[in-house]
Amino acid sequence: MGEFVRVETEGAVGVIRLDRPKMNALNVQVQRELHEAADQVSADEAVRAVVIWGGERVFAAGADIKEMQDMSYADMARHSVRLQNAFKALAGIPKPVIAAITGYALGGGCELALTADFRVAAEDAKLGQPEILLGLIPGAGGTQRLPRLVGPAKAKDLIFSGRQVDAAEALAIGLVDRVVPAAEVYKTAVEWAGTFAGGPALALKAAKEAVDHGLEVDLDTGLEIERLQFTGTFATDDRTEGMRAFVAKEKPGFAGR
């Protein structure tokens, strides 16, 4: 358990909880602790789905600008590798991941939300990539994950302007998947994650890897990735149980093996 990031559990749902007052600014320590939390939930077989949660007030308002202000090019050349590795670890969690967004998800906070498979936002949430207003560009996946999610034109609009979007617009462009009252964000995310917790863990992992890796390649290569992942599920106990239950007209009891 880190000073600013900890892993809690709600049944089979692991909750990566950010808690760095006041705005969950993502300084070097928080980035390191996020990486450690991602490794922890990835390795814990009892955790079957994950929620990333910044608390009732704010998801994450972005990088710690005061910490970055005095960094040289050489400093950032070294640090940016660690930054991206932390976010890669979060995006690579081999389980369904849901970001529960309240308040602001800006800059690095928006990029953090982009590492999740799904995003639940409060009605009054604000999202954006304002780095351009500092003379910068996103450095933790914003120029890559955002256009893959909302398309290049919408991504360029947000990145070039630095403007914030409200939850309604974020939903309309596909940046978030559900919008609920702020008081219901955490509960909605945990309940949604819970719907995956009893599923076939290895098949869910295979599906996530097939989709994510397939987006990076041409169609024929993507189909080969899918074929290999699909055939791999035939080596799992859950595939045997799923087909047995289907034939017997019973509910499967997946064990995650």
The model's pLDDT over 149-163, given as tens digits with 9 standing for 90+, comes to 999 999 999 999 999
**Residue 62: its pLDDT value, please?**
86
Picking from 66, 53, 74, the residue whose alpha carbon sits closest to that of residue 184 is: 53
Catalytic residue at 111? yes
Sheet (strand 164-166) strand order: 104-106, 126-128, 164-166
Picking from 152, 91, 90, 163, the residue whose alpha carbon sits closest to that of residue 129 is: 163
**Residue 64: its pLDDT value, please?**
85
Catalytic residue at 33? no
Q: Say if pTM beats, i.e. exceeds, 0.85.
A: yes
| Weakly modelled stretches of the chain, pLDDT under 70 | none
Choosing from 3, 111, 184, 216, which is the catalytic residue?
A: 111
**Residue 160: its pLDDT value, please?**
98
Neighbours of 85 (CB within 10 A): 13
**Residue 241: its pLDDT value, please?**
92
Choosing from 131, 209, 216, 224, which is the catalytic residue?
A: 131
